Amino acid sequence: MTTHSKPLPSSRHIAMKSAILTTSRRGAAAIFLATLGLQGVVAQAAESAPPPAMAPAGQYQIDKSHASVLLRVNHLGFSTYTTRFSRFDAELTFDPSNIPASKVVTTIDASSFEMDAAPQECIGIVKGPQMLDTVKFPQIVFKSQPLSLTATFNGGYPGMANMDPHARVGFSAHGSFKRSDFGIAFGVPAPGTTMGVGDLINFSIEAEFNGPALAGPAAETH
């Protein structure tokens, strides 16, 4: 199957912020509990809980039920139109000892570009030859290397017996690119105006990946 000759920007190893915290998403929960007057309970749990084991190195596959790809673009200067791709796949080569060296390959079904409530004419333009040209280029392929993403490693674990017997890691990422750099300049506003659809595309990615099986026997999952 052919891929877009000018795929979404990719590579240069994903610029993952390895100063990643327990204080991003997980810290938010602790802050919430603290506001309820449970600071002592949180502190006691933090002191007694063993440090979580890190997810192992290896090959990981995206968990599609916990992933999203959102895009935002200026529309006529009146709003920031937000949309998404609903069908995609990704494989991650994860290195916990050097997270920025981890690599990801993502394949997006170009026809899954969602335009909720948009007129059919607009959908035809975006998916047609003037823009994505999904018939000629049914896939958009991203490989971590011409675009740096600002990414946060949200954490991971080697798995949980009886519940989730495979390693799991999670990332949040965002970035931007100019669509005209990839041959999609239709509708870009003339200099000094906003009459059109913006050239700059901002995107956000949330993704969890499943990896190697938990060491040792794992009981029935649910």
Give the pLDDT confidence of 164-216 residue by residue, as tens digits: 999 999 999 999 999 999 999 999 999 999 999 999 999 999 999 999 999 86
The domains of the chain are located at 16-21+54-213
Q: What is the mean pLDDT of the chain?
A: 80
Q: What is the pLDDT averaged over residues 31-60?
A: 55
pLDDT tens for 122-177 read 999 999 999 999 999 999 998 877 667 899 999 999 999 989 999 999 999 999 99
The predicted model gives 104-121 an average pLDDT of: 95
Residues whose CB is less than 8 angstroms from the CB of residue 127 and which lie 6 or more positions away in sequence, other chains included: 110, 111, 113, 133, 134
Q: Are 73 and 184 in contact (CB under 8 A)?
A: no
Q: What was the pLDDT predicted at 51? A: 56
Task: Look at the domain 16-21+54-213 and name its fold.
Answer: Lipocalin (2.40.128)
Determine what percent of the chain is predicted with pLDDT higher than 90.
65
Specify the pairing of strand 150-157 against strand 58-75. Answer: unpaired
Closest CA to 203 of 24, 67, 64, 82: 82
Is 102's pLDDT higher than 70? yes
What own/partner pairs with CB < 8 Å and gap ≥ 24 does 111-116 have?
111/138, 112/85, 112/86, 112/87, 112/88, 113/83, 113/84, 113/85, 114/83, 114/84, 114/85, 114/86, 115/83, 116/83
Which of 4-13, 48-57, 212-221 is the most confident on average?
48-57
The most confident of 22-36, 48-62, 93-107, by mean pLDDT: 93-107
What mean pLDDT comes out for the span 63-88? Answer: 97
At 145 the pLDDT is: 74
